[in-house]
Structure 1
Amino acid sequence: MLDEANAYERGMDDDLTFQTVRELAGTAYMAGRSAPPTAVEIEAVAKKLLWWDMEADWEDVMPSDDCFWTLAEPEMRASYLRGARIMLEIARKAVTE
């Protein structure tokens, strides 16, 4: 986060101090933490949940979460996406309270 803030600072006016950049970075971080989950975050959690559910069926080489996600029926993916969205919203709510 600070690396991104420092890169942002290099593109700004010279009158920005390190403290100003830290404040901007902190504000951006808090805004991101309280924002609704993104589609990318939701899908990543859904893929991992599906992978965990399939894990018990494999003994040797475990396929990737992308493999299971690709093979899953659309209704199954939709169900995992709903569950992931709910979990992420609960986590975000806990962070902001």
Structure 2
Amino acid sequence: MSIADDEAEKAYPTRYWNETHVKEQFYCDTDDLQEAYLLGRNAPPADAEVEAVAKKLLWWDTAPAWKDVMPSEDCFWNQAEPEMRANYIRDAREMLEIARKAANE
């Protein structure tokens, strides 16, 4: 299960009618769907998104020094000092917020 699926299940657990295996259904119109889309679009980035971007930024900065042997992104991330990881996480969060702001203007 993806992180997004897991978050959705926690936010909106599957509900069943009267202890049966029949899922509850609800009806919505296009305004409801548009509102749901905008709420998701405007949501702050998840920690997993931020960490994925931070790992890629660190890898881009470090990989050129490893021309002969190319370690994985996780290798660089796991060997980095906590302060260095914190800096990349801060930068990644800022970059994602800039991108989301640009998409919503």
TM-score normalised by the shorter chain: which range applies? 0.7 to 0.9
Paired with 1:23 and 1:44, the residues of 2 have a C-alpha distance of: 33
Paired with 1:30 and 1:81, the residues of 2 have a C-alpha distance of: 25
Which structure 1 segments of 5+ residues have no match?
1-7
CA contact (8 A) 1:55 1:62 kept: yes
Aligned mate of 1:38, from 41, 46, 61: 46
Aligned mate of 2:66, from 53, 58, 74: 58
Aligned mate of 1:72, from 58, 80, 87: 80
More contact order relative to length (CA 8 Å, sep ≥ 6): 1
State how many pairs are aligned. 86
Matched-pair identity in %: 58
Structure 1 residue 12: Cα displacement: 3.9
Q: Deviations over 1:21-47 (max 9, x none)?
A: 876555433222111111111111000
In the other structure, the counterpart of 2:57 is 49
Which structure 2 segments of 5+ residues have no match?
1-13, 15-21
* AA at the equivalent of 1:81: I
TM-score where L is the length of structure 2: 0.68
TM-score where L is the length of structure 1: 0.73
In the other structure, the counterpart of 2:103 is 95
Structure 1 residue 78: Cα displacement: 0.6
Determine which structure has the larger helix proportion and give its number: 1
* AA at the equivalent of 1:90: I
In the other structure, the counterpart of 1:84 is 92
Cα RMSD, aligned residues only: 2.5
